[in-house]
Amino acid sequence: MDKRHDATSFEDDHLTPLDKTEQFYQNLLSHYANGDDKELRAASKLLLVALEKFQCHGGPAWYALMYEYINIAIHEPEKFELILQQNRSSTH
């Protein structure tokens, strides 16, 4: 199998970290198959891991950066989309 099409392979040097995360999200979706709310369930798993990493590595005010991203997503959706696009290897 060509590893560029294998959702479990993260060795492609052309993928950005965001691309690899989105690829992993697709892999999580396949885990839930046709289950109810599979997109939300997969996204919640990524969020749980992200929150844990913010808490472990973000210092005593780890939640400040988290809230900054949340506020941008809520109040400035165009800016949030731009941040996402700038972190992808190609546009989606």
Query: Residue 28: helix, strand or coil by DSSP?
Result: helix
Fill in the DSSP letter of residue 35: -
Task: Say what the pLDDT of residue 35 is.
Answer: 85
Task: Say what the pLDDT of residue 7 is.
Answer: 47
Task: Say what the pLDDT of residue 90 is.
Answer: 77
* Burial annotation 71-90 (CB, 10 A radius, 16+ → b, else e): ebeeeeeeebeeeeeeeeee
Task: Say what the pLDDT of residue 14 is.
Answer: 85
Report the amino acid identity of residue 55.
Answer: Q
Averaged pLDDT, groups of 10, the chain, 92 residues long: 45 84 93 90 95 94 94 98 92 54
Task: Say what the pLDDT of residue 34 is.
Answer: 87
Task: Say what the pLDDT of residue 5 is.
Answer: 43
Fill in the DSSP letter of residue 7: T
